[in-house]
């Protein structure tokens, strides 16, 4: 089944931001915005939910801290206790100040690496993935707003988008898989 969308191309991020606000006032659904760089406040203007990656970062950091504590307790206290500088390793708590750098490093290591892996999986990015960018100019200096055109008067919608500052309007018919 053919699915039609309108691509409105903008040349300025401020004009794009105002256009998003105008489109949202008319209660139109924006599928996606392609941008060569992050536009501050665009997610809020589009009405997107806040990201939960910070929550996952905290959980991954806690996992790293747990791994560090269990690893150091096993290696330095239980498996092979050592007498270092005349101070025997009989308990983890007594030796914990010496382990703080390792605990910090593993916390950061787990949080950073697992966040990157989570980001790639959530955004469906992987090596050799074909780019899904509809217009190559959006990687350089243009912005593209994609709006559903199904069930709407395409010409009326195109005229409205021109009034919002769009420099180019394209009606595209996509085949859905």
pTM of the model: 0.70
Question: What's the pLDDT at 172?
Answer: 85
Nearest to 13 by CA among 136, 161, 171, 165: 165
pLDDT at position 177 over 50: no
Query: What is the mean predicted confidence (pLDDT) over 122-140?
Result: 85
CB contact at 8 A, 174 and 2:
yes
Q: Which residues neighbour 114 within 8 Å (Cβ) at sequence distance 6 or greater?
A: 56, 60, 63
CB contact at 8 A, 92 and 100:
no
Domain map (residue ranges) of the chain:
53-122
Share above pLDDT 90 across residues of the chain, in percent, rounded to a whole number: 44
Determine whether 89 is exposed, middle or buried from the number of CB atoms within 10 Å of its CB (0-12, 13-18, 19+). Answer: middle
Q: At what angle do helices 53-72 and 92-122 cross, to 10 degrees?
A: 140
Give 29-53 pLDDT, tens digit per residue: 899 999 999 999 998 999 888 888 8
How many angstroms separate the CA atoms of 176 and 70, rounded?
A: 50
């Amino acid at each position: 089944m053919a699915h039609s969308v309108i691509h409105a191309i903008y040349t300025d991020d401020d004009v794009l931001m105002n256009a998003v606000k105008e489109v949202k006032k008319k209660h139109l659904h924006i599928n996606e915005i392609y941008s060569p760089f992050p536009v501050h406040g665009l997610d809020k203007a589009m009405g997107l939910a806040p990201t939960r990656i910070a929550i996952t970062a905290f959980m991954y950091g806690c996992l790293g801290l747990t791994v560090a504590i269990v690893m150091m307790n096993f290696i330095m206290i239980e498996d092979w206790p050592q007498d270092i500088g005349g101070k025997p390793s009989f308990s983890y708590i007594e030796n914990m100040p010496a382990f703080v750098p390792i605990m910090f490093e593993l916390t950061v290591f787990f949080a950073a690496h697992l966040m990157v892996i989570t980001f790639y999986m959530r955004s469906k990015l992987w090596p050799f993935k074909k780019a899904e960018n509809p217009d190559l100019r959006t990687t350089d200096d243009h912005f593209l707003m994609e709006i559903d055109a199904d069930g709407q008067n395409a010409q009326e919608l195109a005229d409205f988008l021109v009034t919002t500052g769009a420099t180019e309007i394209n009606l595209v018919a996509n085949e859905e898989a």
